[in-house]
Amino acid sequence: MVLFDGFEFGEPYRGTPIEEVCGVLLPEDYLVFMHEHNGGEGDVGGTSLVLFPLEELRTVNDNYDTENALDGCVIIGGNGGGELYGVDEQGRYFNVPALMDKQDISYLGNSFGEFLENVKTSGAG
């Protein structure tokens, strides 16, 4: 995967099935990727990307109080520099400053592939 040159993938996810977090159904394309890699960290086309492991999503979102700050959204990762990445209940991927407010969301795609391509080209990181 050229897009992931310099990216360290996590181990495949073998835990209890996770389909939703904070009442938001996770998109199928994201779940397919996560079951194979379960997150990771590194460079995606010149931008730093951290994808949180599936088993940590509930804790991460509780810590950010996502349900109150970004109702209908789930944080799935970040860039390690103050930007978080997430997905909303319509399956749209976005970035938002770590000091979250729904009006600060910038959408980055309607599929996991589109999200990754836009992370690469957005330079947010």
Q: Examine residue 14 and state whether it is found in any structural domain, yes or no.
A: no
Q: Is the pTM of this model over 0.75?
A: yes
Residue 31 in any domain: the answer is no
Q: In what helix (H) or strand (E) does residue 122 lie, and over which residues does it extend?
A: helix 112-122
Instruction: Give the pLDDT confidence score for residue 125 in this predicted structure.
Output: 44
Range of the domain at 50: 43-125
Q: How far apart are CA 5 and CA 78, in angstroms?
A: 18
DSSP at 70: S
**Which of 21, 53, 20 is closest to 39 using CA atoms?**
53
Is residue 114 in some structural domain? yes
CATH of the domain at 116: 3.40.1580.10
What is the spatial distance between Cα 118 and Cα 60, in angstroms, rounded to a whole number?
23
* Alpha-carbon torsion angle 71, 74, 78, 84, nearest 10: -10
Number of structural domains (the chain) is 1
Look at residue 33 and tell me if it is in a domain. no
Domain-embedded: residue 13: no
pLDDT digits (tens, 9 = 90+) for 64-94: 999 999 999 999 999 988 899 999 999 999 9
5-30 residue pLDDT tens: 789 999 999 999 999 999 999 999 99
**Residue 18 domain flag:** no
> Is residue 12 situated within a structural domain?
no
The encoded tokens of residue 113 equal: 């592939």
